[in-house]
Amino acid sequence: MDDSSTKRAAKSPLAAGERPTLKTIAYMTGLGITTVSRALKDAPDIGTETKERVRLVANQLGYQPNRAGVRLRTGKTNVIALVLSIEEELMGFTSQMVFGISEVLAGTQYHLVLTPHTHQKDPMVPVRYILDTGSADGVIISRIAPDDPRVRLMTERNMPFATHGRTDMGIVHPYHDFDNEAFVYEAVAKLASKGRKRIALLPPPATLSFYLHSRTGFERGLADFDLTEVSMGRISTETILGDIRTYTETLMRSANAPDGIISISGSSTIALVAGIEAAGKKLGKDVDLVSKQSAEFLNWIRPEIYTVNEDVRHSGRELAKAVIARIDGVAPELLQSISKPTWSSMGPKE
């Protein structure tokens, strides 16, 4: 910073707690407000030395563009809203999703705003709020249903969005998904290779799209390997963990006990293990267990579990890139991707 800027810094016009503005930076640098604004936007007609001086002062002041002002000038908020259920996967799902999205947004003008909701309430509420208030330029949603009213509403309102999961409603839209059909089929094949014959699947809720994908892979695997299904009744990955444990213990004590179990959720798998062991059964001997996980932790607890990793951080990156591209006008059919299962190297040794 030159001497004149240093002198101005000594008598900064900012009161305690006051937010720095373009006018503040202009005062500190001795430049015009228009010049400061264009320098921060990296305008080609502003000299490199001037840009560096403006950025240095802006950084020292902690300057951030006023979103309300940006919106008035451009009609944009520079916000991407992530609508995420507070009941999402306990073991790292939310944090990894946010990390992945943030990695992509870090190189852009966009900021991430997390909008939490509970699946027990109307999932349309947070989406309607974003649409009615114009509080975001793009939206990312999860917990996708085959016929999802949020997708229909955002399509009708021309709101750029991306979904973590696929729909089946005749609307082409951006998405990123994990191939749960392939995961469950491969899990059945793994259990068949271990000589298991009676297989149980702990599925997601039947209202969600990946329930259908999971069931398709499961039923195809049972048919291909001539195995028998053992029903988990009404238990799903969203059942209270204590109830999963109790149900599993009762099932494992029964004459109808499975010798292989597939779980879609890492946190639910912990309850399954507790129920299996409470029934006096041993993993790897009496029953084999295959589980999907969003963070590598299950094999720290029980090395006998066969695990498949879903890279949620990668999902976040793909969703962020998709929604930004949609804002920029890229066709939705070009913004669809699916991740394949990756088997963990930390599972039982073959």
| Maximum Cα–Cα distance across the chain | 86
3-state helix, strand, coil in the chain (%, to 5): 45, 15, 40
In a domain, 148, yes or no: yes
Q: What are 291's two structure tokens? A: 């589980």
Residue-wise pLDDT for 239-263, tens only, equals 999 999 999 999 999 999 999 999 9
Q: In this model, does residue 67 exceed pLDDT 70?
A: no
Rounded CA-CA distance 299/50 in Å is 55
Based on the fold, state whether residues 108 and 224 are members of the same structural domain. Answer: no
Based on the fold, state whether residues 188 and 81 are members of the same structural domain. Answer: no
CB atoms within 10 A of CB 290: 27
Residue 265: give its domain's CATH number.
Answer: 3.40.50.2300
Q: In this model, does residue 207 exceed pLDDT 60?
A: yes
In a domain, 268, yes or no: yes
Q: What mean pLDDT, rounded, does the chain reach?
A: 89
As for how many domains the chain has, the answer is 3
DSSP H helices, 166-288, are 180-193, 209-225, 241-253, 266-278
The strand pair at 228-229 and 260-263 is best described as unpaired
**Which are the contacts of 92, defined by CB distance < 8 A and separation ≥ 6?**
294, 295, 297, 312
Q: In the 8-state DSSP scheme, what is residue 18?
A: P
Mean pLDDT of 159-175: 97
Based on the fold, state whether residues 208 and 288 are members of the same structural domain. Answer: yes
Residue-wise pLDDT for 307-345, tens only, equals 999 999 999 999 999 999 999 999 999 999 999 999 988
In a domain, 345, yes or no: no
The whole domain housing 9 covers 1-64
- In sequence order, the β-bridge partners of residue 79 are 111
Residue-wise pLDDT for 69-123, tens only, equals 555 455 578 999 999 877 655 556 788 999 999 999 997 889 999 988 776 678 8
Residue keyed to tokens 């190297």: 345
